[in-house]
Amino acid sequence: MAVLTENELIEIRRHLHQNPELALKEFDTHRYLLEVIGKLNQKYLELKTIPELPTALLVRVIGSEPTKTIGYRTDIDALPVTEQTGLAYASKNPGVMHACGHDLHMTVALGILSYYSEYQPLDNLIFFFQPAEESENGGKLAYEQKVFTDKWRPDEIYALHVTPDLQAGTIGCRLGTLFAGTTEVNIDLIGKGGHAAYPQEANDMVVAAAQLINQIQTIVSRSINPIEGGVITIGRMSAGTIRNVIAGKAHLEGTIRGLTQKMILKIDERIKQVAAGIATSFNAEVKVELNQGGYLPVENDPILTEQFINYVSKNPDLNYVETEPAMTGEDFGYLLSKIPGTMCWLGVEDDSQLHSAAFTPKEAAIKAGVEAFIGFFNNRMEQKRRTK
Ligand SMILES: CC(=O)N[C@@H](CCC[C@H](N)C(=O)O)C(=O)O
């Protein structure tokens, strides 16, 4: 197979879209990626799998006159969302959907890789097909398995994320922080169950959970600088079994976001204080579990990002806009804390937001994403020689 055409890439994207898999369970996705990559010209390619992280895949393209190794990362997992797009190629896996665009991310990576499998790059390239971006810290897990060592260590690393808010194919980026850092929060309230008719004999954790959720929301409005901003979303709660039994336990799951590590730690601290206060006032027990994992703020490297922005903004074939920082999280932030690099947005123009069951990204963006990165990488590889 030669360089993948736009139609072939769309076919690949639709296959990936139909077969989404959750974090760390991306076995069919991994097999399919190996199948597609196996059909490319193998002359310059080397593959690496990780026994401890079996759905991850690294592909190295050997450069002709390497002075550096450039990394490119795509995430491969999907979300527990029941698709409602009505598309002919909608998810075949009930309750699982590529609602965050990782199907497009993988397709763009394959497009770039297929180009360099035919046109040998000057520098080495490493493509990292990363499991578990939505949860479970796939980037951090891989890094801790010492995957990026010796010839498999990129000197710089890049990634993109699709956004429905920009026109299809537009590249958005910024110097500084692009995405927030996040912390997952789990809270368990433990009181005493009982008969609905005798509240005085029980200790109702539905009421305690309701109070806790409301009070947590005052952290953002009352405890943090509005200019700096932060987000706390409780996305899941469970309590009770039936209407006429008072629930003795409640469980809440949420996510905390902030653009700096300092802000995240401040919100973490306030949540612990508020939860302890509610527990005291309800005479209940509370357990707060906070887990940031690898979801550090995505901080773009100043020098590499300036070069990236210079390239895309001056290229007449590309559309570029400077974007605001976003409260979405990305474990690419962890990789960027270890390896300098840049993350950008790729516009896919849609009325539905990321993580929505109706999310329908425009496939025209695939070609634009592939071309932007091939152009930038070629320019970057030549530039190093021009300035040598
Ligand atoms: C781009 C995007 O939507 N990323 C996710 C990943 C964050 C996961 C994290 N473990 C958390 O929910 O805190 C997002 O929700 O922003």
> Which pLDDT tens digit goes with each residue over 218-233?
999 999 999 999 999 9
Residue 138 Cα to ligand 1 midpoint, Å, equals: 12
- With a 6 A CB cut-off, is 100 part of the ligand 1 pocket? yes
- With a 6 A CB cut-off, is 329 part of the ligand 1 pocket? yes
Evaluate whether residue 309 is within a structural domain. no
Range of the domain at 237: 180-291
Judge if ipTM > 0.95: no
Residue with the smallest CA separation from ligand 1 atom 7 is 329
Evaluate whether residue 220 is within a structural domain. yes
> Active-site residue numbers?
75, 134
Looking at residue 50, the DSSP 8-state letter turns out to be -
Q: Ligand 1 pocket test: pick from 252, 259, 295 the residue with the most ligand atoms within 8 Å of its Cβ.
A: 295
Q: Please provide residue 151's backbone torsions phi and psi, each rounded to the nearest 5 degrees.
A: -70, -10
Residue with the smallest CA separation from ligand 1 atom 4 is 329
Q: How many separate domains does the chain show?
A: 2
Residue 205 confidence (pLDDT): 98
- With a 6 A CB cut-off, is 96 part of the ligand 1 pocket? no
CATH code, domain carrying 217? 3.30.70.360
Q: CB 283: neighbour CB atoms within 10 A?
A: 10
Residue 256 Cα to ligand 1 midpoint, Å, equals: 10
Residue 383 confidence (pLDDT): 82
pLDDT in tens, 162-213: 999 999 999 999 999 999 999 999 999 999 999 999 999 999 999 999 999 9
Indicate whether 385 pLDDT > 80: no
Q: What is the spatial distance between Cα 173 and Cα 344, in angstroms, rounded to a whole number?
A: 5
Do the strands 231-239 and 249-258 form a parallel or antiparallel pair, or are they unpaired? antiparallel
Q: Is 120 helix (H, G, I), strand (E, B) or coil?
A: coil
Indicate whether 347 pLDDT > 90: yes
Question: DSSP string covering 170-206, please?
Answer: -EEE-SEEEEEEEEEEEEEEE-B-EETT-GGGSB-HH
- Do 156 and 195 share a structural domain? no
- The answer to whether 322 is a known ligand-binding residue is no
- Do 110 and 212 share a structural domain? no
Indicate whether 388 pLDDT > 80: no
- Do 224 and 162 share a structural domain? no
CATH code, domain carrying 36? 3.40.630.10
Q: Could you identify the residue written with the tokens 């802000």?
A: 263
Evaluate whether residue 246 is within a structural domain. yes
